[in-house]
Chains A and B, each alone.
Chain A
């Protein structure tokens, strides 16, 4: 067995290769775009990655249980708009209260998804495709297609995305990015060290076995949808903070980026394996591509095509590459086991 094989699992190779891919992408775009290696580029990418990451963390939990939530884009838009109008009309509102409202709205929309999937026994794709349209429709109707504008928002909210939490030299690590990192760390640790969170993995890995063990399948899947909704609500608040101007179109098509981030990040679309950190790396790659292609002047439609291609590649390679890697590792282990007694056998 090589050093690599002893210290790294095949499942981790994926995340490492993703990191490598991000570096390659940065060098690639750096050679094409003048003034790419600036802090402005970093900040722009980082704030876009931050929103995708937070929503992708929620999506990861749902995908782990063999489900999918396509309504995240609509939930983000819904909360961004309504929390925006709330703050615009009550400028003196407590910032933390505003965030809590955003999370609650998101969670409530997630409850609808969760109830329909768990107890309504409707497949998640159907439920969330439906709510994707319904949430957006309700938003357009209730808002009367009006827009939240920056000048109606209080100063703290406008300053929030520029808030510099961790200045390293002239590099800014801004509030939204830090928030996303905190969420990732919390959820990464949670999925390892909280017993209820480990249930997400078990259910996706082998639902029949989970049933025989006596796992509460319905409530676990329900919980995944509620958390995903809550994090999408938080993502909606982050979107409000970042752009200030929120139309009824906010967050439209975000589900594509989020699902791409999750799948590219190595979360098995058939459930049961993958990590929140992987999803963050996936989001970083997607965010880098989105912002860089945008600066190259490539249209949004081509961008979507690229995301689609990435999803297909990731799912296809997941099956093939991981299988090959596992076979390599198993063979190396076998050699280790079988090799030893053979030597003993030939000596006497």
Chain B
């Protein structure tokens, strides 16, 4: 009603952004009226974070325009965005850990008195804001000594000190506990009353409902629904987030080969990092899914099982009858392998050849008979995996950097298959992989499980988990929030569990 009359503060038209072959934004549009809290929700990879980065001037769009109060603007640097009154609180902390709270709050715009930087002025300028945020800490202490929640508030305070007209919050409460979240929301409401416009990005739908006035749902880089919160329900949002997925992408399970000795991996009360008392069993021939939001502990759990992170408590029994590996080398020697989420950083040596990468585990980690490197065996290994996994490369001597994402991932998997792993840990193996390669990776997972290997499969894409896994374990804020059978669960229940840690109930729908 009134919204059609008031001029829009921000209007985004047809934004397009591609990273290599992956399209992050595909003609996204968004209108934000002044003085509202506007939530942007969507699955991982739906384009939320890219949108925020473009508005903050960190990333440049390939096409489309940004209008601020009706005028076309170019945000070509973080400084340019800040000058136009756009402030952003990043999901990952961007503080200077060894510097004091005050130094962080006023970095790059230190208040001067008679030409000198004045900490007294800093104290004066920040005191009221810190009180309002309920941040009661020693402002001269280095930020690294504060809790994560306090650090998040410091980051928010730093942005608020710039008095932004548009405040972007990218999952601002992912590190906050319940009390801190409530305080944050109180501050946000107060800011709204003062006329600050906010873009609020979050996964936690309940909180989006608690704080926002208007909601935009994004999917595959487009905006699919924008409506007032009052006219929306959580199930409606979830439907819009998921959209219609093709189910035929997932190959049917292969007939399991006869296993002489079924094996199992038992995890018993593992704690460490954000994890709290995780216990489950996975049997050979089974694909066990792991689902959870960023920071829920999935990556930590896989890291602990692979020996790259230490568990603070708890134990596990691996198929070889021994406990948690103490290092990745030990894991590899015991037939445990991990396909990491960030393959370019952790999975591959990009400046080396396909052959080198495939032989890496056998030569580098295993205690094989001969101390000599045999080029003949290495090319045999490379040829074997290239053929088996259908890796598209001109020759085994091509650099991995030149392969497509899907083929790079196959190289990572191939190097592990060379050691015949008993336990296969897959951390979001299809991230940034094209559809064809995805299907091939799904087939590989089926094959591995049919061969009697234990497969733990984490993914941020729900249809994948549902289509492939026998069982899905859901982690929420470090605890095991539930377990569902893969094929029987529907998207909605699973998404609800992942986002809230609880099964949808009658009480849940009453919230609408």
Contact = CB atoms under 8 A, between A and B. Distances in A.
B77 interface: yes
A201 B116 contact: no
Contacts of A268: 98
Contacts of A201: 96, 98-99, 103
A43 to B, nearest CB: 35
A90 interface: no
A214 B82 contact: yes
Q: Which of A9, A213, A215, A273: most chain B Cβ within 10 A? A: A213
Contacts, number: 70
Contacts of A205: 96-99
B94 interface: yes
A326 B144 contact: yes
A89 interface: no
A330 interface: yes
Contacts of A215: 107-108
B97 A212 contact: no
Contacts of A329: 145
Where chain A touches its partner, the secondary structure class is: helix
Contacts of A272: 96-99
B78 interface: yes
B98 A330 contact: no
A209 interface: yes
B145 A330 contact: yes
A168 interface: no
A202 interface: yes
A199 B142 CA distance: 16
Interface residues of B, number: 26
Q: Which of B90, B95, B145: most chain A Cβ within 10 A? A: B145
Interface in A86-126: none
A206 interface: yes
Contacts of A206: 94-97
Q: Which of B77, B82, B103, B118: most chain A Cβ within 10 A? A: B103
B443 interface: no
Interface residues of A, number: 26
Interface in A240-254: none
A208 interface: yes
A198 B117 CA distance: 9
A11 B94 contact: no
Nearest to B57: A214
Interface of A: 9, 11, 192-195, 198-199, 201-202, 205-206, 208-215, 268, 272-273, 326, 329-330
14 contacts: A9-B140, A195-B108, A198-B117, A201-B103, A202-B107, A206-B94, A206-B97, A209-B95, A212-B58, A213-B94, A213-B108, A214-B79, A214-B82, A214-B108
Interface of B: 58, 77-79, 82, 90, 94-99, 103, 107-110, 112, 116-118, 140-142, 144-145
Identify the 6 closest CB pairs spanning chains A and B, nearest first: A205-B96, A209-B94, A214-B79, A273-B98, A195-B110, A193-B116
